[in-house]
Amino acid sequence: MMAYVKVLARERLTPGVPVVVSVQGERILLIDLGDRVVAVDSACLRCGDAIEAAPGGDGAATCPGCGWRYDLRAGRVTGVPSLWLHNYPVRLSGTDVYVGQPSADDHAPSRPPPRESR
């Protein structure tokens, strides 16, 4: 069972406005996209700079260092579907926001679940 860590009070999470939190030394970008709250690594997969989510809650983010664009809803690099940001599970409970605690082997980008065979 995954452990969850309280990262901030829910009142600090404004829809469409990104917030960066730290969990065990990992910088995690949180954004309320209206239908869900997303938590992903805040570092660009290409150059390591902090990605910046565009205000407005459309789920788009850009790296100011190299210009790579990210779709935070899908958790991937726009136009490169094989590259994924590490996604963290989020729980909203009462007045607080919790993020699944990354383990020691969670430093590789997460992968989408395998496609179901038809």
In this structure, what CATH number is given to the domain that contains residue 46?
2.102.10.10
Which structural domain, as residue segments, surrounds residue 75? 4-96
Residue scoring higher pLDDT (93 or 103): 93
Q: Which two tokens stand for residue 53?
A: 């989510």
Instruction: Please check whether residue 46 lies inside any domain of the structure.
Output: yes
- Under DSSP, is residue 115 helix (H, G, I), strand (E, B) or coil? coil
Q: Which two tokens stand for residue 111?
A: 């992968």
Residue 26, amino acid: E
Q: How is residue 50 annotated by DSSP?
A: B
Instruction: Please check whether residue 74 lies inside any domain of the structure.
Output: yes
pTM to 2 decimals?
Answer: 0.80
Number of independent structural domains in the chain = 1
Confidence band, pLDDT 50/70/90 cuts, at residue 58? confident
Please say if the pLDDT value at position 95 is more than 60. yes
Instruction: Please check whether residue 91 lies inside any domain of the structure.
Output: yes
| Residues in a beta bridge with 31 | 38
Confidence band, pLDDT 50/70/90 cuts, at residue 105? low
Please say if the pLDDT value at position 40 is more than 70. yes
